Structure 1
Amino acid sequence: MTRLLAAVLALVLLPGVACSSAAEPDGSAPAAASSSTTTARPTSDAGDATSDDSGQSRAKGVTLKVTRLATGLDHPWDVHGIGNGRYLVTERSGHLTVIDKDGTVRRLSMPTDLIWVSGETGLMGLAIDPDFASNGRFYTCNGGLPQGNPDVRVMVWTLNKAATRATYRDTLIKGFPTSSGRHGGCRLLILENGAMLVGTGDAAIGTNPENKQSLGGKTLMLNRITGKPWPTNPYANVADRRQKFLHTWGHRNVQGLAQRADGSLWSVEHGPDRDDEVNLLKNGGDYGWNPVPGYNESVPMTDQSLPGKQIEAKWSSGFPTVATSGASFVYGGQWGWYDGTLAVAALKAGELLFMKFDASGKLLGVRTPAAMKKYGRLRAVTALADGSILVTTDNGGNDAVLRVRPAG
Structure 2
Amino acid sequence: MRSKIRTLCGRLLSGGLAANGKAAILAALLAQPAWAAGVKPETVASGLEHPWAVAFLPEGGYLVTERPGRMRIVSAEGRVGPPLTGVPEVVRGGQGGLLDLVVDARFASNRQLYFCYSQPGPGGSSTALARARLPQGGKGLVDVRVLFTAVPRLSSSLQFGCRIVEAKDGTLFLTVGDRFYPKEQAQTLDNDLGKIVRIAKDGSVPQDNPFVGRSGARPEIWSYGHRNPQGATLGPEGALWTHEHGPQGGDEINVIQPGRNYGWPVITYGENYGGGKIGEGITHKDGMEQPLHYWVPSIAPSGMAFLTSDRYGAEWQDNLFVGSLKFAYLDRIVLAGGKVAREEKLLQGIGRVRDVRQGRDGLLYLLTDESDGKLVRLLPQ
Category of TM-score, reference length = shorter chain: 0.7 to 0.9
**What does the per-residue CA deviation read over 1:112-138, in whole Å, with 9 as the maximum and x for residues that have no partner?**
552222210110111111222232211
Q: Match of 1:229, as an amino acid?
A: V
Q: Match of 1:214, as an amino acid?
A: N
* Residue 303 (structure 1) shift: 5.1
Q: Match of 2:236, as an amino acid?
A: A
Q: Give the counterpart of 1:197 among 170, 173, 193.
A: 173
Q: Partners in 2 of 1:238 and 1:389 — Cα distance?
A: 42
**What does the per-residue CA deviation read over 1:314-334, in whole Å, with 9 as the maximum and x for residues that have no partner?**
11111x211011100012333
Structure 2 match to 1:326: 303
Q: Partners in 2 of 1:375 and 1:275 — Cα distance?
A: 23
Q: Secondary structure at the match of 2:313?
A: helix
Structure 1 match to 2:189: 212
Q: Secondary structure at the match of 1:243?
A: coil
* Contact 1:357 1:363 survives alignment (8 Å): yes
Q: Give the counterpart of 1:159 among 130, 134, 139.
A: 134
The answer on 1:86 being equivalent to 2:61 is yes
**What does the per-residue CA deviation read over 1:230-275, in whole Å, with 9 as the maximum and x for residues that have no partner?**
33321123355x6211111101000000111211221011111101
Matches within 5 A, 1:4-19: none
* Residue 201 (structure 1) shift: 0.5
The answer on 1:273 being equivalent to 2:248 is yes
**What does the per-residue CA deviation read over 1:320-349, in whole Å, with 9 as the maximum and x for residues that have no partner?**
211011100012333343221110001011
Structure 2 match to 1:229: 205
Q: Which has the higher contact order (CA 8 A, sep 6+)?
A: 1
What is the number of equivalent residue pairs in this alignment? 343
* Residue 179 (structure 1) shift: 3.0
Structure 1 match to 2:100: 125
Q: TM-score, normalised by structure 2?
A: 0.83
Q: Secondary structure at the match of 1:257?
A: strand
The answer on 1:352 being equivalent to 2:330 is yes
**What does the per-residue CA deviation read over 1:166-195, in whole Å, with 9 as the maximum and x for residues that have no partner?**
235211000344432111111001122211
Q: Partners in 2 of 1:169 and 1:302 — Cα distance?
A: 45
Q: Give the counterpart of 1:380 among 333, 355, 361.
A: 355
* Contact 2:133 2:143 survives alignment (8 Å): yes
State the Cα RMSD in Å: 2.6
* Contact 1:302 1:312 survives alignment (8 Å): no
* Contact 2:98 2:117 survives alignment (8 Å): yes
* Residue 406 (structure 1) shift: 2.0
Runs of 5+ consecutive residues of structure 2 not aligned to the other structure: 2-8, 10-32
**What does the per-residue CA deviation read over 1:331-371, in whole Å, with 9 as the maximum and x for residues that have no partner?**
23333432211100010110100112234x211111112xx
Q: Partners in 2 of 1:227 and 1:322 — Cα distance?
A: 34
**What does the per-residue CA deviation read over 1:37-81, in whole Å, with 9 as the maximum and x for residues that have no partner?**
xxxxxxxxxxx9xxxxxxxxx997243122111111011100000
* Contact 1:80 1:126 survives alignment (8 Å): yes
* Contact 2:129 2:147 survives alignment (8 Å): yes
Q: Match of 1:232, as an amino acid?
A: D
Distance 1:301-1:287 versus aligned 2 partners, 3 A rule: farther
Structure 1 match to 2:265: 290
Q: Partners in 1 of 2:39 and 2:300 — Cα distance?
A: 23
Runs of 5+ consecutive residues of structure 1 not aligned to the other structure: 1-7, 9-47, 49-57
Q: Partners in 2 of 1:210 and 1:218 — Cα distance?
A: 9
Percent identity for Structure 1 against Structure 2: 26
Q: Partners in 2 of 1:142 and 1:101 — Cα distance?
A: 26
Structure with the higher fraction of residues in helix conformation: 2
Distance 1:239-1:300 versus aligned 2 partners, 3 A rule: closer
Q: Partners in 1 of 2:367 and 2:52 — Cα distance?
A: 7
Q: Match of 2:313, as an amino acid?
A: W
Q: Match of 1:80, as an amino acid?
A: A
Q: Match of 1:266, as an amino acid?
A: W
